[in-house]
């Protein structure tokens, strides 16, 4: 329990400054992929929705479905149940499309040999990629397993990866 409301406000100032500093700091964890991208300028309207649909080569019915969703979204108001004291979102300041300019290579375009290629149960139907070590772990898909089954598959993968790395 603090002595006064003024003391509470004073104590909050360093915390707010720390949060502000963290938000303004450049991301430093190293997980950045510097690739050339194609993007749309910021803003959202029907032309942007059409441009996104066209860039994705979507059929006309999908474009119309997206436009209907956008028109419905325009009629909505932001929720205020959280009672947050934040500035409204400027939806016109956001770019709604970005994609790599160069498409990922297919496995046929990859040159050289990999140290290891591991497949997960596709056997002979897996694409062939040159590698020093080739293994098919044939593990069950944990997608519909309960937590215990999921963890068992996860732990098996971890153990096999550790063993593989020791061999490389």
Q: Where are the domains of the chain?
A: 33-104, 107-167
Residue 25: the pLDDT is 80
Say whether pTM exceeds 0.75.
Answer: no
Please tell me the distance from the alpha carbon of residue 104 to that of residue 82, in angstroms, as a whole number.
42
Which of 140, 141, 114 has the alpha carbon at shortest distance from 127? 114
Q: What is the CA radius of gyration of the chain?
A: 25
Give the residue with greater pLDDT, 159 vs 30: 159
Question: Is the domain 107-167 a CATH 3.40.50.800 member?
Answer: no
Give the residue with greater pLDDT, 29 vs 101: 101
- Lowest mean pLDDT across 1-15, 40-54, 143-157: 1-15
Please tell me the distance from the alpha carbon of residue 166 to that of residue 159, in angstroms, as a whole number.
11
Q: Does residue 3 carry a pLDDT above 60?
A: no
Mean pLDDT of 85-108: 84
Residue 11: the pLDDT is 56
- Give 125-134 pLDDT, tens digit per residue: 777 788 889 8
Q: Does residue 43 carry a pLDDT above 70?
A: yes
Asked if residue 145 lies in contact with residue 159, where contact means CB atoms within 8 angstroms, the answer is no
Residue 6: the pLDDT is 56
Confidence of residue 65 (pLDDT cuts 50, 70, 90): very high
Residue 44: count of CB within 10 angstroms of its CB: 18
Confidence of residue 26 (pLDDT cuts 50, 70, 90): confident
Q: Does residue 108 carry a pLDDT above 90?
A: no
Mean pLDDT of 94-123: 81
The answer for residues whose C-beta is within 8 angstroms of residue 122's C-beta and 6 or more apart is 136
Confidence of residue 106 (pLDDT cuts 50, 70, 90): confident
């Amino acid at each position: 329990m603090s002595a006064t409301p003024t003391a509470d406000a004073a104590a909050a100032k360093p915390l707010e400054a720390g949060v502000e500093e963290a938000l303004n700091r450049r991301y430093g964890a190293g997980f950045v992929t510097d690739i050339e991208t194609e993007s749309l300028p910021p803003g959202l309207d029907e032309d942007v929705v059409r441009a996104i649909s066209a860039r994705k080569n979507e059929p006309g019915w999908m474009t119309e479905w997206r436009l209907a969703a956008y028109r419905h979204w325009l009629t909505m108001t932001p929720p205020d149940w959280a009672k947050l004291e934040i500035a409204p979102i400027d939806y016109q300041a956001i770019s709604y499309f970005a994609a790599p300019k160069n498409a990922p290579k297919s496995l046929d375009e990859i040159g050289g040999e990999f140290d290891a290629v591991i497949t997960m149960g596709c056997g002979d139907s897996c694409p062939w990629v040159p590698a020093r070590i080739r293994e098919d772990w044939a593990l069950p898909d944990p997608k519909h397993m309960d937590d215990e089954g999921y963890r068992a598959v996860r732990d098996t993968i971890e153990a096999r990866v550790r063993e593989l790395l020791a061999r490389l």
